[in-house]
Each structure stands twice: as structure tokens, then as C-alpha cells.
Amino acid sequence: MGQVRIGCAMWANKEWIGTLFPAGARPAQLLAHYARVFDAVEGNTTFYGLPSAATVARWAAEAPPPFRFLFKLPRTITHERRLRDAGSELAEFCGRLAALEPRRGPTSIQLPASFGPDGLAELDRFLERAPAAWGWAVEVRHPEFFAGGGAERALNDLLHEHDADRVILDSRALFSAAPRQEVERIAHGAKPRLPVRPTATAAHPVVRFIGHLDPEVSAAHWVSWFPAVLRWLEQGREPTLFFHTADNVDAPLQALRFQRELAVASGGSVSRPSTPAATTGPGEPDEPALDLDLG
């Protein structure tokens, strides 16, 4: 059976001090504390700029080898160049982060919503030239890739051919109710509202779960992932699930609750997380998980 990894969209969140992190934790200690609880994190900072070599070396020292960073390609490659003529930028990205081996998970290629079916040839060329050892996970947002037609089939076939994963975005919980707080209104305007496509095209499926501020609302949606995750594990795949909320304050607690409930749904075959004493969250469910429609 494969391994499932659970994490959040960041690790350096001061709002988590006193819950996920012990009281008095210093900013320089947050990655080490985070890595004691979770075994993966989204590396979104690289979308905006590359870290220094010294920063990369520090990350490597603070995170144990089983930990995985899933870095995002810089926007200069994905949004400005739209994958064209980006060889030098890609080489700089790979060179800068090479010291984190073996702590690198799949590398995210997050494409803009305007990147549609006419860009598949460019994606094909990019994946053909990109170093396969880095692993690649592609996140698309163009509506045609979610319509169940020829464009979506072509995308999935292309990813399968290159042994690349499709990043799966699930924002159902976020959009399940009208926003009541300003952070929710901002999230409603910023996050994609697209159908869920639980398609594994390679060995390391990536799920980005955008939860609701109310953990019960999130839980009502995440139970539908239990069958898919357990099926992937039985197939020998190693999925990673990342948990977000509009303000990300309670995202770690939701992630930990998901992992506990997944352990129950698996009958114990998926181990429970090692939760620090400072972290508290909702208890385990009294009722069995429901198999909800992901469509």
C-alpha cells in the first residue's frame, strides 16, 4: 500500500503559535515545528521569487528527509512566458532547489485560467524537456478542462504520457454557503469555482482542499475523498492532500481531523498523525464516513 501525505499551504503562520506550535515559538523555529506534525507543505513562495541558497540550506536542515516540499514553478515561467522559451528560468529554479533532494515532492505547474486547450502543445513540449526526476503536477483552471469532453481527455492523456500528475482542486466547501466574513468574500473572489476531477494520471496525486471556516462544513465535503484516497493507496500511489481555509487559521486543525477520520475510514490501515500536546481539535466521528459524489 502506498503512503498518504497531509499538509497545509504554508508553514510560517504566526496565528498557529499556541495551537499547532508551542507558545513562545520563534519564527525561525516554525518549519521544524511544522515538520513534526505534517509531512508535506505547499511551497507557494517560489511562485513569486526564488529563495536564496542560504535559505534553501536552512530548510534542508530543518525538515527531516521524509518531509516533502511541493514547490510551485515561478509565475515568470507559467504566467508570463506561458511555458515558452523558459529553459534558463527552469534551470535556475531546479539549480536553486537541488539541495532539498530528497525532500522534494512533485513540482507544481499552476497555469492561469486563460491557458486553454490551444496551449496543450506547449505543455507537451515543456514536459518533454523538463527533467523527469523532479516530478511534475499540473494545475489547470480553464473551464474546458473540466467539461468532460475532448479537451479534458487530451489533457489527461498528455499528463499520463509524461507521467505527470493532475493537481485536483476541491473548493466545494468554500462555495457551499454565502460569505459572511471579509476573508470569505475575498476568498470567494480569488479561488476558482470549478468541478472536482478526482483523476490520478500518475503516481503522486495532489489534492488541494479549500475548506470552509466552519470545520463541520468542511468535514461534510472531505468525507467524499476517503474512498478515492484509499483506492489510490491500494494501487500503490502516494497521494498528498493540502488543506486551506479562507484565513488558514484553523487549516492545520482541519487537516489533522481529516487524517484522524481517514484512519477510522480505513479500518486502521492508514496510521493516525502524531499530534503535539499543544494541538487540539474536534474528536473522531461517531458515524461512518459517507461516500459522496465528487462530480
- C-alpha cell of residue 205: 496525486
Which tens digit of pLDDT belongs to each residue from 61-95? Answer: 999 989 999 999 999 999 999 999 999 999 999 99
Q: How far is CA 178 from CA 135, 174, 243, in A?
A: 38, 9, 20
User: Does 295 reside within a domain?
Assistant: no
pLDDT given for residue 289 in this prediction = 26
Q: Once rounded to an integer, what is the mean pLDDT over residues 167-191?
A: 96
Q: Is residue 272 part of a domain?
A: no
Q: What is the pLDDT of residue 282?
A: 32
Q: Is the pTM value of this prediction over 0.85?
A: yes
User: Is residue 203's pLDDT more than 60?
Assistant: yes
Mean pLDDT of the chain: 90
126-177 per-position pLDDT tens digit: 999 999 999 999 999 999 999 999 999 999 999 999 999 999 999 999 999 9
Mean pLDDT of 37-41: 96
Which pLDDT does position 268 carry in this prediction? 84
Q: Which amino acid is at 143?
A: P
Does residue 228 form part of some domain? yes
What's the pLDDT tens digit per position in 239-265? Answer: 999 999 999 999 999 999 999 999 999
- Whether residue 185 lies inside any domain: the answer is yes
Q: Is residue 278 situated within a structural domain?
A: no
The CATH number linked to 22 is 3.20.20.410
Residue 28 sits in which domain range?
Answer: 5-265
Structurally, the chain folds into a number of domains equal to 1
At residue 2, the pLDDT reads 73
Please indicate, yes or no, if residue 242 is contained in any of the structural domains.
yes
216 inside domain: yes
At 292 the pLDDT is 31
Give yes or no for a contact between 282 and 252, defined as CB atoms under 8 angstroms apart.
Answer: no
Strand partners, 8: 41, 243
**Does residue 167 sit within a domain?**
yes
